[in-house]
Amino acid sequence: MKGICTLILAALLVLQPAAANVVWAREVRLEMGDEDGSRMKAVAAAAEAAGAQVQGGPDAAVSAPGQAAAVGTPGPDAGDAIMADTSGQEPGAAAMAGTPGPDAGDAIMADTSGQEPGAAAMTGTPGPDAGDAVMADTSGQEPGDAVMAAAPAAAVEVQAPSALLMEASTGQVIYEKDADQKRSPASITKIMTLILIFDALESGKIKMTDEVVTSAYAKSMGGSQVFLEEGEKQTVETLIKCIIIASGNDASVTMAEYIGGTEQEFVRMMNERAAGLGMTNTHFVDCCGLTDSPDHVTTARDIAIMSRELINRYPQIHNYSTIWMENITHVTKQGTKEFGLSNTNKLLKMATNFTVTGLKTGSTSLAKYCLSATAEKDGVRLIAVVMAAPDFKARFADAQTMLNYGYANCRLYEDKEMLPLPQMAVTGGVADQVPLYYEGSFSYLSLSGEDLDQVEKNLVLEESLPAPVTKGQAAGVITYTLGGKKLGEVRVLAAADVEEAGYMDYLKKLAGAWLGTAGWLPQASD
């Protein structure tokens, strides 16, 4: 079918008047998701074979989704093609060779076989002194592991071969299908790129207002791009928009070089960060997902893990991932011109029963159609991951199916007012007490409709701690139960070190106690 479409398009190009018998490959995108440019190359080659002139040749750069397709010789406002109705294209993408009817490009939704049962997990959220999120005590599983829940096997039907639905605050897996199969992620890769960018912002290494210079190498990136020129300067914030909205490969490499020095070093940092998150089935080769290397792989589960890290640690990402369209300004030696960014995430404009908050699309001929979608409703945030969907409509339909299932079945309990903690007595220490803190806050995701208003909590502390006491030392737990069933717990920890008292410390204590009893304590002078 794609071959027939290619020949038809090529024929239409040749039938243009002689003065307009030029295809500006740099401004054309045949089909959404052509991030590696393979479809554009096929069109260009067919057009040349049919006698049309292709500016830039078959290997010319292909615009990001949302770029207008221009057939003919562009004028001063090149790229301002007539926009077709969008049922068969990426949001904002321009029509090629006529305006499709209301059903143009509609995909037939395939029925699917049974899926894996849903899954559940409980985690804590880090407190002020805590590091990574801590799993509430279920059955000794590792952080991020799931406890299987009794979801109907056919409760969710998706076309994609790999998919996963996760609740963001707990990390609980609600549904999964072949979620650990390694696959090419295409531009979903950029989620990790964005994590490292925001890491660098958080650490103070870079600032949003920094101006970053585009290298010749970054400019040379094909696939989806925003057409940065060598030597062009853009701020970090603008480049973030180019990455998250328009999936710019050139913008991704520009930021990778700015933070890591080289893309290779940045990719090493990506793999190191992935390992730290427990993404055991992930290996990155580039920073944008354009590569066709068989070594550039991840899984639906690992995509959910890094998506969760991005939206939990840096929720400000939603300020950018929810932008539908926005212009940036190119300032180069050739002058100044506006360039329109159009979001590749069609879910943002689809009618839903929830609020879509992001996050990232990806597609190449190798990866097919991928998506990490984030949404929110009634305080519940879900992440739906789709990998290798057969077409772009299927990836959005699959994500919506999973999100609808999640919001129909999930209820979230969050302890936003944890019990106050007393000072803990210390025996044999230089101090008699030590302050306490919770290792994290507590969340529980219910899939069975329990009345979460009936959750009970019980604080159990040690009577005292013997010195020496180390900061972070366990001092007790707060447990959560519902109907006699333990939901989980969060540990209570010592908030400071307390050294063991020596001989002189005891003398000072005795002297202080005796002087205080005798009323001989020194009085403050005026």
Helix (H, G, I), strand (E, B) or coil at 371: strand
Of 347, 193, 183, 357, nearest to 260 (Cα)? 193
Q: Is 190 a catalytic residue?
A: yes
Residue spans of beta strands (DSSP E) within 317-454: 325-332, 335-342, 355-364, 368-377, 380-389, 411-414, 424-427, 433-434, 436-438, 440-446
Options 169, 247, 307, 342, the catalytic residue: 247
Nearest-angstrom CA–CA distance, 323 and 240: 12
Q: Which of 41, 177, 190, 219 is catalytic?
A: 190
d(CA 1, CA 154): 32
Active-site annotation holds for 187: yes
Active site residue 215: no
Of the listed 63, 184, 187, 321, which one is catalytic?
A: 187
- Do the Cβ atoms of 36 and 222 come closer than 8 Å? yes
CB 319 within 8 A of CB 357: no
By the 8 A CB rule, do 307 and 208 touch? Answer: no
205 known ligand binder? no
Count of other CB atoms within 10 angstroms of residue 433: 15
What are the distances in angstroms from CA 262 to CA 286, 303, 458?
A: 11, 24, 52
* Cβ–Cβ < 8 Å for 26, 60: yes
Angle of helix 263-276 relative to helix 190-203, nearest 10 degrees, comes to 90
Binding positions for substrate are 360
Residues carrying an active site annotation? 187, 190, 247
